[in-house]
């Protein structure tokens, strides 16, 4: 094998594939990446047996071939080279030779035949989504996931497809987030799949502002996410995601519109005095168009504040919430104003903005 490429291009591709490579003493080959020529490009692959990443590098191919080398070694070396052309080649001893200006190095490799096969998905189930909308949805939903050993179906994001509508949701049973997206292709499907949180984190990490459309292909057990010259292949989580849609409140006994930044600032300030269970009291005052927030800690003291609502209607409530969860839900809203709704003392708080399809609900800690 022999090819010539730009150092910066190679660096970018290695940094993409390297992130899922972790030290594995039982299967040392998983510490490696696979470099192989593929027509007029170079294919760089990595896997941890649950997620596989394939990235294609533009290069001048002079000789076909392949080799598997330690990911951390080659990534660190290429990252430290000066920007210039790089020549990579192999010999019969499974050694990767790298040349760039005054630098020359040899990296001991392994026969590429020993590298695990990253499965291909053959399916007509194909979704096209705007990259930036998917990126925003993942960012809004990913932190809700709290990996669990028993309810493994909650360890990922639920993608629910019905014709051109895609609903993405995540929950840890005490809170839930949902985003509604519209697909860019006509597809006659009514299906649900659960993509692991680690896979979603990798998608979020790799996506950039220049990406256009994302293709998602899936079968019963696996999913592939494709964009630009990158492909992420992952297993799906087996299980039934909770039927959550009936839990989302449809009507409210209290609702208000509140400036987001003022609400975030108030929660951050008052929560300094929260107790060990991270509780914050939320009290509504419809007559005065106010939301009152307060925290009390027997060891350090107490704090309270009032926020003016632009609108406030309905009954008054006094409820307790986990301030960290409340804050995360509000911060993920892409708007200057927040809609806040309460249905009853026992039902979840409802939050949403006006610029996107993000909804967030949070169960109260206790009734006062």
Q: What is the pLDDT of residue 368?
A: 47
Q: With cut-offs at 50, 70 and 90, classify the pLDDT of residue 53.
A: very high
Between 141-155, 158-172, 319-333, the lowest mean confidence (pLDDT) is in 141-155
Is the per-residue pLDDT at 254 higher than 70? yes
The tokens describing 42, both together, are 């170079």
Please tell me whether residue 8 adopts helix, strand or coil conformation.
helix
Is the per-residue pLDDT at 367 higher than 70? no
Q: What is the pLDDT of residue 93?
A: 86
Q: With cut-offs at 50, 70 and 90, classify the pLDDT of residue 91.
A: confident
Closest CA to 135 of 198, 218, 206: 206
Q: Please give the C-alpha separations between residue 274 and each of 50, 211, 261, 351, in angstroms, as whole numbers.
A: 40, 42, 20, 22
The pLDDT of 238-262, averaged and rounded, is 95
The pLDDT of 332-342, averaged and rounded, is 97
* Side-by-side strand order, sheet with 358-362: 190-196, 156-162, 165-171, 175-182, 358-362, 349-352, 337-342, 254-259, 311-314
Q: Is 71 within 8 Å of 109 (Cβ atoms)?
A: no
Higher pLDDT, 366 or 260: 260
Closest CA to 241 of 281, 191, 286: 191
Between 39-43, 136-140, 147-151, the lowest mean confidence (pLDDT) is in 147-151
Is the per-residue pLDDT at 274 higher than 80? yes
The tokens describing 45, both together, are 């692959």
Measured CA to CA, the distance from residue 225 to residue 232 in angstroms comes to 5
DSSP H helical segments within 271-333, as ranges?
Answer: 323-331
Measured CA to CA, the distance from residue 91 to residue 112 in angstroms comes to 13
Q: Is 48 within 8 Å of 32 (Cβ atoms)?
A: no
Helix orientation angle between 131-141 and 197-206, rounded to the nearest 10 degrees: 130
Q: Is 260 within 8 Å of 248 (Cβ atoms)?
A: no
Residue 20 Rama label (left phi>0; alpha psi -120 to 50; beta): alpha
Q: What is the pLDDT of residue 279?
A: 96
The pLDDT of 320-335, averaged and rounded, is 97
Higher pLDDT, 151 or 176: 176
Closest CA to 206 of 356, 57, 54: 54
Measured CA to CA, the distance from residue 125 to residue 148 in angstroms comes to 29
Please tell me whether residue 27 adopts helix, strand or coil conformation.
coil
The tokens describing 79, both together, are 């990252």
Determine what percent of the chain falls in helix, strand and coil, rounding each to the nearest 5: 20, 45, 35
Q: What is the DSSP string of 56-85?
A: EEE-EEEE--EEEEEHHHHHHHHHHSPSSE
Is the per-residue pLDDT at 208 higher than 90? no
Q: With cut-offs at 50, 70 and 90, classify the pLDDT of residue 84.
A: confident
The pLDDT of 60-74, averaged and rounded, is 96
Q: 212: which residues sit within 8 A by CB, 6+ positions away?
A: 130, 131, 227
Is the per-residue pLDDT at 90 higher than 90? yes
Q: What is the pLDDT of residue 356?
A: 85
Q: 149: which residues sit within 8 A by CB, 6+ positions away?
A: none
The pLDDT of 116-125, averaged and rounded, is 91
Q: With cut-offs at 50, 70 and 90, classify the pLDDT of residue 148.
A: confident
Q: 366: which residues sit within 8 A by CB, 6+ positions away?
A: 320
The pLDDT of 62-76, averaged and rounded, is 97
For the stretch 216-236, pLDDT in tens is 999 999 999 999 899 999 999
Between 51-60, 118-127, 248-257, the lowest mean confidence (pLDDT) is in 118-127
Is the per-residue pLDDT at 328 higher than 50? yes
Q: 182: which residues sit within 8 A by CB, 6+ positions away?
A: 164, 165, 166
Is the per-residue pLDDT at 149 higher than 80? no
């Amino acid at each position: 094998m022999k090819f010539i490429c730009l150092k910066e291009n190679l660096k970018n591709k290695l940094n993409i594939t390297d992130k899922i490579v972790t030290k594995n003493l039982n299967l040392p080959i998983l510490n490696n990446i696979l470099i192989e020529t593929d027509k007029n490009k170079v294919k760089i692959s990595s896997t941890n047996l649950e997620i596989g990443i394939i990235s294609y590098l533009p290069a001048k191919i002079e000789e076909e071939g392949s080799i598997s080398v330690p990911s951390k070694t080659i990534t660190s070396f290429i990252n430290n080279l000066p920007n210039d052309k790089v020549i990579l080649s192999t010999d019969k001893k499974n050694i990767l030779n790298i040349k760039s200006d005054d630098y020359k190095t040899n990296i001991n490799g392994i026969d590429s035949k020993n590298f695990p096969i990253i499965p291909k998905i053959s399916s007509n189930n194909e979704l096209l989504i705007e990259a930036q909308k998917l990126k925003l949805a993942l960012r809004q939903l990913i932190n809700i996931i709290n990996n669990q050993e028993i309810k493994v179906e909650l360890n990922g994001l639920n993608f629910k497809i019905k014709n051109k509508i895609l609903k993405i949701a995540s929950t840890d049973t005490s809170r839930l987030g949902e985003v509604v997206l519209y697909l860019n292709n006509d597809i006659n499907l009514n299906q649900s799949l659960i993509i692991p949180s680690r896979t979603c984190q990798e998608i979020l990490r790799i996506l950039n502002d220049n990406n256009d459309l994302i293709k998602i292909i899936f079968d019963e057990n696996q999913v592939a996410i494709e964009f630009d010259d990158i492909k992420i292949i992952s297993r799906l989580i087996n299980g039934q995601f909770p039927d959550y849609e009936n839990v989302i409140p449809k009507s409210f006994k209290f609702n208000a519109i509140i400036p987001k930044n003022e609400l975030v600032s108030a929660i951050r300030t008052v929560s300094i005095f929260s107790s060990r269970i991270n509780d914050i009291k939320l009290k509504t005052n419809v007559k005065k168009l106010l939301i009152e927030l307060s925290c009390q800690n027997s060891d350090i003291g107490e704090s309270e504040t009032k926020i003016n609502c632009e609108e406030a209607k309905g009954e008054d409530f006094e409820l307790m919430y986990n301030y960290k969860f409340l804050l995360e839900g509000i911060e993920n809203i892409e708007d200057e104003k927040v809609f806040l709704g309460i249905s009853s003392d026992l039902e979840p708080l409802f939050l949403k903005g006006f610029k996107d399809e993000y909804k967030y609900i949070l169960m109260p800690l206790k009734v006062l």
